[in-house]
Amino acid sequence: CSEHKDSSEKKHKDKEKTKHKDGSSEKHKDKHKDKDKEKRKEEKVETSSLKVELCFFACFCSPPRIKDEPDDDGFYASPKEDSKPLKRPREDDEILFILQDSKAKKVKSKDKKVPEADKRKKPKKEEEQKWKWWEEERYPEGIKWKFLEHKGPVFAPPYEPLPENVKFYYDGKVMKLSTKAEEVATFFAKMLDHEYTTKEIFRKNFFKDWRKEMTSEEKSTITNLSKCDFTHMSQYFKAQSEARKQMSKEEKQKIKEENERLLKEYGYCVMDNHKERIANFKIEPPGLFRGRGNHPKMGMLKRRIMPEDIIINCSKDSKIPAPPPGHKWKEVRHDNKVTWLVSWTENIQGSIKYIMLNPSSRIKGEKDWQKYETARRLKKFVDKIRNQYREDWKSKEMKVRQRAVALYFIDKLALRAGNEKEEGETADTVGCCSLRVEHIKLHPELDGQEYVVEFDFLGKDSIRYYNKVPVEKRVFKNLQLFMENKQPEDDLFDRLNTSILNKHLQDLMEGLTAKVFRTYNASITLQQQLKELTNPDDNIPAKILSYNRANRAVAILCNHQRAPPKTFEKSMMNLQSKIDAKKEQLADARRELKSAKADAKVRRDEKSKKTVESKKKAVQRIEEQLMKLEVQATDREENKQIALGTSKLNYLDPRISVAWCKKWGIPIEKIYNKTQREKFAWAIDMAEEDYEF
DNA sequence: TGCATGACTTAGTAAGGAGGAT
DNA sequence: ATCCTCCTTACTAAGTCATGCA
């Protein structure tokens, strides 16, 4: 590998041209992308053996696809329009009917069966008839809907000035703030107990943005944040939230009803003749930006979003939502190539925020299903791909070697792709392609193992990834090569980025990207673990423990962490004392049983026999209870710092879990709560016990 | 081709609320 | 009835990846 000598040239872009003038980017300033070298090394990779099947979904349960063209308006017309009345936009009065009547009359089409899960529940109106979108034809690529109508977003309530008696002090003296300045001050006051408010950057950013909201007098008086006393305001808010908790049932009920009304009015839309739940119909209220980890922008003011910031997306022929009186929307558009209903640009990063549908909706579910189908397709290719990257470790080209080692990490360790990030704009976190030399340590030998790589870096959400992994010798040697003549802050894979990697993956399999490996490895791990851990003789709680353990294996693989709950130790102790109490109870019950037996032996009458029987049952019951508690304790202890939810929700093919439940007679409710069941309704409906990922 | 932007998924935290224990 | 705990839900930040434009 003759080119490795210049591998120390950096690929970071010239930071001079980026907008921040502070010194924060000094460190990487000298990095340039070596374009010429890249070009020279453009190479044709022999991938024909891996070339993809064109059929999008290979397996039998693949969603059907149709392939016709959209009409002039960009709307897709179903070839079987007449036989599919459901896909035709409804007339206004019909829509109204749907919006108002949550029991929307059952469509005449194929939805004859009531899903299993629904039978068990008392027939509640919402649950009665679920639309099985997964039994319908899908739209051609790109078209997301044909009809979309909604009521627009719900804005944050306007600011309510503090009562006169709540004071703000500056330098020990009472000071009355202008409404605007006061509002921003309350944001800080509400966070006073939070660690954020002690952080230098947070305080600096907050103060800078706060001053922008002040009147000129305020600005000239308030020059030092440390002299500001928000404690009285903070106490007021605490009292308020306390009072909220103490409210009477009636008052609470009233609030609940109001929320329900809001949800009913704004929480749903009509998309292609079906009423669908919206995920986040409320606009984010103003406040202070809470970036995660060491975020350079934490504490900045997140401004209030007005109707004039809002872009509405809906059908041309729908009832277009009205802006609040006296206001206008920024824009109303009719783009059926996207799934969002409302968008606005946020002022911290300048990125766009969206209002989209709930995970239970067709549009999200279809995509989710498709995601798992892609991962399943990878299963067929993965051996070839693995062989290929092993070969590539020997390549003459630096770029190919780096790509191959990175892919190995992504595959083996389920690392994220690692896009480049704009420096100084976000917390310094990395993924695979953006790993720097400082993030790994090479140990030719460690704890009796050869060729160990020690990873230590901050990943998404500034969650630390720490792992010591034995790797193959060739990988190790390559890493040594990649690190030669580099500074700690240089890129490990200086000839690689996610775009190059994904292009390569695309050549290996249609639709393959870096994240597919995470999905694939997560799901396949769950399946294997379930096979391995489930003991057919176990009772249900023990089987569920096995499930959780399998789930946990995945969460560990994906590095899904959580802060150990603050009350963890305490609740663990509580549980332990419960177990102890149960043990004593069991001992007592056993003693009682013994004496009852003795008694029965002497008396030999019916009554004492019955007593023995009931004592026996009691012992059994208590044993079971004890067992349950012990299982619970184990489960909780093992779960201390691991978050299971993320993998369950985003990485594990739900059909694996559904099949497992069916196979072992576990009620699905034990694995998925209500929300999760709604999200995975498609999987619950279609997976049989013999489902193989 | 490279970069910015847009769209959409994945992520952890904290408030809220249901349900069990006292 | 009240308290406490834990689960659920809401919230929104932070990723990934494709696309379109200079």
The string of DSSP codes covering A120-184 is HS---GGGS----GGGSPPPPTT---S-EE---PBPPPPP-PPPTT--EEETTEEEPPPHHHHHH
| Nucleotide lying nearest to A647, CA to C1' measure | B10
Spatial distance from the CA of A337 to the C1' of C20 (Å): 15
Residue numbers in A 507-526, CB below 7 Å of strand B: 515, 518-519
Burial class (CB in 10 A: 0-12, 13-18, 19+), A160: exposed
| Nucleotide lying nearest to A499, CA to C1' measure | C17
A284 touches strand C (CB under 7 A): yes
State the pTM of this model: 0.78
Local structure of A648: helix, strand or coil: helix
Q: Are strands A168-170 and A228-229 parallel, antiparallel or unpaired?
A: antiparallel
Closest protein CA to C1' of nucleotide B12, residue? A562
What is the pLDDT at residue A572?
72
A651 catalytic residue (yes or no): yes
- Residue the block writes with tokens 């921003």: A184
A559 touches strand B (CB under 7 A): yes
Rounded Cα gap, residues A205 and A226, in angstroms: 14
A627: left (phi over 0), alpha (psi -120 to 50) or beta: alpha
Active-site entry in A408, A520, A651, A691: A651
Query: What are the pLDDT digits (tens) for A19-47?
Result: 333 333 333 333 333 333 333 333 333 33
A478 touches strand B (CB under 7 A): no
| Nucleotide lying nearest to A245, CA to C1' measure | B16
A153 touches strand C (CB under 7 A): no
What is the pLDDT at residue A126?
42
- Listed in order, strand segments (DSSP E) in A278-387 are 287-288, 301-302, 311-313, 331-333, 342-345, 352-355
What is the pLDDT at residue A683?
94
Residue numbers in A 425-484, CB below 7 Å of strand C: 426-427, 429, 431, 459-462
Residues lower than pLDDT 50 in chain A: 1-128
A282 touches strand C (CB under 7 A): yes
Kindly state the helix (H) or strand (E) to which residue A638 belongs, with its residue range.
helix A606-638
Spatial distance from the CA of A512 to the C1' of C20 (Å): 22
What is the pLDDT at residue A98?
33
Beta-bridge partners for A352: A345
Spatial distance from the CA of A427 to the C1' of B14 (Å): 21
- The phi and psi torsions of A282 (rounded to 5 degrees) equal -95, 135
Rounded Cα gap, residues A426 and A419, in angstroms: 13
Rounded Cα gap, residues A656 and A671, in angstroms: 12
What is the pLDDT at residue A240?
85
Spatial distance from the CA of A341 to the C1' of B6 (Å): 14
What is the pLDDT at residue A139?
85
A287 touches strand C (CB under 7 A): yes
What is the pLDDT at residue A294?
93
Question: Do A457 and A409 contact (CB within 8 A), yes or no?
Answer: no
A657 touches strand B (CB under 7 A): no
A400's tokens: 């190919």
A356 touches strand B (CB under 7 A): yes
A299 touches strand C (CB under 7 A): no
